[in-house]
Amino acid sequence: MKKKGRFAFYGKHGMLLICSVVILLPLVYTVCNSFMATSEINHYYAGINAQNGTTAFHLIPDMFSLDSYYKVFVGRPDYLMKFWISLFLTSAIVIGQLIISVLAGYALAKFALPFRNFFMFVIIALMMMPYQVTLVSNYIVLEKIGLLNTYWALVLPGIFSPFGVFLMRQILSTMPDAILEAAKLDGANQFQLIRKIIVPSCKSGIVSLVILSFIDYWNMVEQPLIYLDDPTRYPLSVFLAHFNSSNLGLSFTCGVLAMIPVLLLFWLFENDLTKGIAFSSLK
């Protein structure tokens, strides 16, 4: 009996440990390699593009160096420019999405709108579509209203997020109506209701929407490739995707740079994020 318990204990921790290593390895590897000097990178990855070369597993820098960071920050202003473009675009989308989603989610959860269930069904269905489904037609619509090749083409469609509305609606429908009724009797107007009751009560939803859609748009690849003609205006995500192994050192560094904003959000709001994700369940 005791032996079996010990076996289960080691089995459990063994499994968790292996899974964690597999999950963390690509991240740790990227971070560690970003602290290597260019010469070290060139030395260790000399064989990677060769026909029959070999590449050793090289995790710990021989010598800690901020070489590539220096190069990214000082030598190549375009890398940094991409970073700011990404940050600007993503923030604009997330903020817009938040406002629209809270209002619409509140309306769907607490007002007797006509066709309310039909709207929910359409929202859920469209939430599940891959981007490619509406790609062409969106392209044509954007062309018609003259937004193609502007950043608006990325921001505007992003703001109207079915997922955001869905999430807010799920959270707000668990909130008892009595709270709203009481506030109304005290003479609160809609603006006060939203600011003082609705927003605080979907805090976990707001936080997880911010994080999830920040990640989603921080990583956007499809939209810029299609809606923007000029590659110099692409955000960091597309830029990273076009990296090749000829410039591995800088790629690692840019990869780390791209992780920083999301890791920061994650570190600050992990608890709310888990709560919000749990709410996104349709149950």
Interacting positions 167-226 with another protein (CB under 8 A): 190, 211, 215, 218-219, 221-222, 226
Choose which of 66, 122, 182, 268 interacts with another protein (CB under 8 A).
122
Selected binder of another protein within 10, 14, 42, 47 (CB under 8 A): 47
Among 24, 95, 182, 268, binds another protein (CB under 8 A): 24
Distance between CA atoms of residues 243 and 68, nearest Å: 15
SS3 content of the chain, % helix, strand, coil (to 5): 75, 0, 25
Pick from 83, 227, 234, 252: which binds another protein (CB under 8 A)? 252
Asked if 131 and 125 count as a contact pair (C-beta separation under 8 A), the reply is no
Sign of CA dihedral 156, 203, 170, 114: negative
Residues 87-116 that bind another protein (CB under 8 A): 100-101, 103-104, 106-108, 110-114
Residue 153 and residue 235: Cα distance in Å, rounded?
Answer: 13
Among residues 50 and 60, whose Cβ is nearest to another protein?
Answer: 50
Annotate each residue in 144-163 with x if it binds another protein (CB under 8 A) or - if it does not, as one string: ------------xx-xx-x-
**Long-range contact list for 188-194, CB < 8 A, 24+ apart?**
194/102, 194/103, 194/106
Give yes or no for a contact between 158 and 96, defined as CB atoms under 8 angstroms apart. yes
Q: Which one among 80, 81, 87, 120 touches another protein, defined by CB under 8 A?
A: 120
CB closer to another protein out of 20 and 232 = 20
CB of 140 to another protein, least distance (A): 7
| SS3 at position 241 | helix
**Residue 154 in contact with residue 236, Cβ under 8 Å?**
no
Number of residues that bind another protein (CB under 8 A): 98
42 binds another protein (CB under 8 A): no
With CB under 8 A as the contact rule, the residue among 63, 66, 95, 136 that binds another protein is 136
Query: Is residue 70 close enough to count as binding another protein by CB under 8 A?
Result: no
CA gap 82, 94 in Å, rounded: 18
Contact with another protein (CB under 8 A) among 19, 95, 179, 268? 19
